[in-house]
Amino acid sequence: MTTTSLTEDQQALVETTLDFAQDHLAPHAVRWDRDKHFPLDVLRKAAGLGLGGVYVREDAGGSGLTRADGVLVFEALASGCPSIAGYLSIHNMVAWMIDTYGDDEQRARWLPRLCAMDDLGSYCLTEPGAGSDAGALSTRAVRDGNDYVLTGVKQFISGAGVSQLYIVMARTGGAGPDGISAFLVDRDDPGLSFGPNETKMGWNAQPTRQVILDGVRLPADRLLGRTGDGFRIAMSGLNGGRLGIAACSLGGARSALSKSLSYLAGREAFGARLLDAQALQFRLADMATELAAARALVHQAAEALDRGDPQSPQLCAMAKRFATDTGYAVADRALQLHGGYGYVNEYGIEKIVRDLRVHQILEGTNEIMRVIVARGLTEAFR
């Protein structure tokens, strides 16, 4: 990570987060992946550094950092474990949505515990029949007196079953995005249950389950924002979430590149160090160059989002698409550079490859990122 353009505060933030990742994540990442262990104790240690409410205002217990700060945080965390960093990105997206769209009572009720990670948060948009076409979701919230009754199923929910709070997008009106509202659902609400933990290719250090809403009755004060604002709230949250996942891809790939340098420096073939072979040096140079280009785009998008630039949704989509594709490609090449050892679990390279693969899918597939970018490019010609 190039830090020459960072402020002193950002430099300190990166160093502190990197130390945490190397001390508390990296030594355990392979075991957590193997055992499918979700390290709640370590998440709460991260909260002690202010990483449970990165973007939340300080009056509610948050750190009040910018998106430009956040991408530094998540890249550093992912150098220790992309799976745990990815969950922290999602948790922080949930906390930001409540801080931004919640009323005073909702902020006071939920944010202090989320920031301390005494409670964890999950984001519930995707459904079994509505993934990329999120505006077609079918989960319903029917008004009944002073309550809403929610019925439906959410799919691929990170943290499900462990998280205490779920931001659930449900249909309160007609078809399309304008008929969707956002709700705050507590794990203890009657009618809420969870499917079995999914058996996944990667991201094994965090649970992924269905969230099942079977007539979950909520008081009207659990509505987040206004009726019909749910899709806009969901997409607004995803702009920042895409940057978090992009940064996690950078961090995972950066770790893979670092492991490759160390491996090649200590490995000999045909009477010479592999690191001295020009063909391999060129490959390493390309990996580093591509990561630097991706990082620059992620930082540009983060700064645009902080400014409220109207082009920021397109820039966030560009950054997410480019950084996640680049991160996965770099990790895959790092595995190849390790030869057979890259395929062996204990070296940690194959885990990084598996973890980074899903980044090209979640928070909006990279095909949908292309749709968002193309829509912005062609808008003036419609």
Q: Which residues are catalytic?
A: 363
d(CA 317, CA 246): 10
Tokens read off for 87: 């969950």
Q: Tell me the C-alpha to C-alpha distance, in Å, between residue 103 and each of 111, 211, 227, 293.
A: 11, 25, 14, 40
d(CA 202, CA 379): 37
User: In the chain, which ranges are continuous DSSP H helix?
Assistant: 8-20, 29-35, 40-48, 67-78, 82-101, 104-115, 230-265, 278-307, 312-337, 349-357, 366-378
Token pair 């990329």 is found at 132
d(CA 310, CA 33): 39
Which one, of 255, 262, 263, lies nearest residue 340 by Cα?
A: 263
d(CA 358, CA 83): 10
Q: Which residues pair with 121 in a beta bridge?
A: 165
Helix axes 230-265, 278-307, angle to 10 degrees: 160
